[in-house]
Structure 1
Amino acid sequence: MIYDFYHRGDDTFYYRLLSLLEKKIPAKILEISRIRNEVYLVKTNQFWMILKGYNSYQKLKIQEAYTRALKQEGFTHTYQFYVFNEEPLIIDKKVFGMIEYISPHKDSFTYSSKRNRREAIQLLEQYYTVTERLVEIYKYILPSFHLMKKLEQRLEEFRSHKSIIEHYLKIEIVEEIMEWAEFSFCYLKNHNEYLHTKSNVILHGDVAHHNFMRDANNKLYLIDFDLISIGPRVGDYLQFANRILPNIGWSIQQLQKMSGYTQFFKEEWFLIALMYPTDILREWNRIIRNQDLSNEFLLEQVLYLTTDQYPKRKKFYQKLRQIVNI
């Protein structure tokens, strides 16, 4: 038996986990190793699997049922859960689910590749085609998508941190970021009915590159559905755009040409929503909230995010203002 629990310094946790797994899994456990917080790789003599902790039994059962429903509806580009018996595996108030292990491709998935960006958005479109059929089943189970609430909270928190942030950035840059966020938010708030005119799907909620992965046979998968909600697909499209814009040099033309975005570019609401600097606000709020400003590595990352492509981001904002003519 090989195990890696150095991060806990707690052999008791390891033995409890091993004991529970041996009772549930019909195979000999060979190795357990930590991938990240509350996520472990378990190797047996018959198969490998991912062990992931959830805050409640209900959340685990929703994930099990949802991924099973995706498969049944024809979306095969994701994992499934193993359910050997109904008795939950609970340690330290976490309920652990057992997920199919997908053997990864030798190259990590990133948005720096044009091919990856194209295939990711195509996979999301397939996902929405399926989840549109599941909305009626899950509308009383999953939360509704609340974009405006999220944007307002993010803006208010950033505003409260303004004096701190000005110790690290030029005041004029902080002021410009605030201007972009406030202009965008005020418009969206006054035109919130736009979201209610769109058909709902089940949004993924976190379309970062690490929630896509290729397997050893080059098949692309969509993973980690912890943040799923009911809402119009524009919610994920905005987030996806925000994630890839640095990789395409903040090019409006390149984004507009991508599958799914042509129609959105005809809508003023979407263009103004693109102006909201959600990534900058999110990361500054996080580093201050977690009291990590003394961590030089994390501070350098958030400073780089803010300043590295700032001129291109500013031109992007100005061009969008010209397009909408407001």
Structure 2
Amino acid sequence: MIYDFYHRGDDTFYYRLLSLLEKKIPAKILEISRIRNEVYLVKTNQFWMILKGYNSYQKLKIQEAFTRALKQEGFTHTYQFYVFDDEPIIIDEMLFGMIEYISPHKDSFTYSSKGNRREALQLLEHYYTVTERLVEIYKYILPSFLLMKKLEQRLVEFRSNKSIIEHYLKMEIVEEIFEWANISFLYIQEHNEYLHSKSNVILHGDVAHHNFMRDINNKLYLIDFDLISIGPRVGDYLQFANRILPNIGWSLQQLQKMSGYSQLFKEEWFLIALMYPTDILREWNRIIRNKHLSNDFLLKQVLDLTTDQYEKRKKFYQKLRQIVDI
């Protein structure tokens, strides 16, 4: 029996998927349900698994090999791929990988608690210790971490959207956001050698809270390696800081006390890089690019992101500027 909880509008897709799975999986399929775009939960009479779509054979095989290498090197806090034979499942030019299902904890993982933030950082450090040993194997397979390119693209797109954004925000707020972004970007651009002076690991690339999950036994897992790249730890630490700062009230002192950050606070590059308002630029660019400004719910989200803690963010950036004297 097949249940589609998120109707796709193409029933034949499920019958094609079922037919292919029945040929590959040594178990009876009981149910297939869509979780989100190109991600499905498959229940059999023996086990459950996640079916995830990839747009190229290379990407799928990199994910299979990388997660297997993590386990072999002692990182057991992630999933494995099932590979029942060498031929992937292909439907509508999308290739599907079969991923081990982790029974989730009743409570979703968030960055709202100090304990969760601490445990996430500990898990990331364990991940880097392992991936540091894998860099030589993957340095010709994975892309390099290109922070400058990402920051420049966001800033250019945000600048092109300025006239639209000013319909929703006060002009002085938009100008301040530009000032923060420009100061940070120009400094990083002039000191790009900083990243090349650091030892490399395999960066996760998306350390948002939803890429950590607890299982039913409270074990914390790191998941979703679609954005892995070769670069120094600071790339993920910078992103992690941006993700948790709203949860700690933009407190410079709390961030500095966290594991891994006390040393980074001694480096001018990191402090100035923290000034780049990456979340604001990312979300305004996304809502405009996707033409979702008419969606009141999404618009409120991006407005709240920009304004709710704006004064705390402003004081945080002012303190950073005082420390580095710019």
Q: Which TM-score tier does this pair reach, normalised by the shorter chain?
A: over 0.9
Q: Does 1:280 align with 2:286?
A: no
Task: List runs of 5+ in structure 2 lacking aligned partners.
Answer: none
Q: Deviations over 1:25-81 (max 9, x none)?
A: 000000111111100000000000000000111100000000000000000000000
Q: How far apart are the structure 1 equivalents of 2:61 and 2:187?
A: 39
Report how far residue 2 of structure 1 moved.
3.1
Report how far residue 14 of structure 1 moved.
0.6
Query: % of aligned pairs identical?
Result: 90
1:79 aligned partner, one-letter code: Y
Q: Which residue number in structure 2 is paired with residue 57 of structure 1?
A: 57
Q: Deviations over 1:154-203 (max 9, x none)?
A: 00000010010000000000000000000000011011110110000000
Q: Does 1:289 align with 2:289?
A: yes
Q: Does 1:120 align with 2:120?
A: yes
Q: Which residue number in structure 1 is paired with residue 33 of structure 2?
A: 33
Q: How far apart are the structure 2 equivalents of 1:209 and 1:284?
A: 20
Q: Does 1:225 align with 2:225?
A: yes
**TM-score normalised by L of structure 2:** 0.99
Q: Which residue number in structure 2 is paired with residue 172 of structure 1?
A: 172
Q: How far apart are the structure 1 equivalents of 2:301 and 2:175?
A: 20
Q: Which residue number in structure 2 is paired with residue 45 of structure 1?
A: 45
Q: Which residue number in structure 1 is paired with residue 103 of structure 2?
A: 103
Conserved 8 A contact 1:283-1:302: yes
Matched residue count: 326
Conserved 8 A contact 1:5-1:14: no
Q: Which residue number in structure 2 is paired with residue 153 of structure 1?
A: 153
Report how far residue 87 of structure 1 moved.
1.1
1:253-264 pair list within 5 angstroms:
253-264=253-264
Report how far residue 7 of structure 1 moved.
3.0
Q: How far apart are the structure 2 equivalents of 1:168 and 1:132?
A: 45
Q: Which residue number in structure 2 is paired with residue 66 of structure 1?
A: 66
Report how far residue 6 of structure 1 moved.
4.1
Q: How far apart are the structure 1 equivalents of 2:282 and 2:324?
A: 25
Q: Which residue number in structure 2 is paired with residue 79 of structure 1?
A: 79
Question: Secondary structure of the residue that 1:230 maps to in structure 2?
Answer: strand
**TM-score normalised by L of structure 1:** 0.99
Q: How far apart are the structure 1 equivalents of 2:300 and 2:92?
A: 34
Task: List runs of 5+ in structure 1 lacking aligned partners.
Answer: none
Conserved 8 A contact 2:40-2:50: yes
Conserved 8 A contact 2:6-2:33: no
Report how far residue 8 of structure 1 moved.
1.4
Q: Which residue number in structure 2 is paired with residue 309 of structure 1?
A: 309
Structure 1 runs (4+) greater than 2 angstroms displaced:
none
Q: How far apart are the structure 2 equivalents of 1:158 and 1:18?
A: 44
Q: Which residue number in structure 1 is paired with residue 186 of structure 2?
A: 186
Q: How far apart are the structure 2 equivalents of 1:221 and 1:183?
A: 36
Report how far residue 10 of structure 1 moved.
1.0
Q: How far apart are the structure 1 equivalents of 2:188 and 2:13?
A: 48
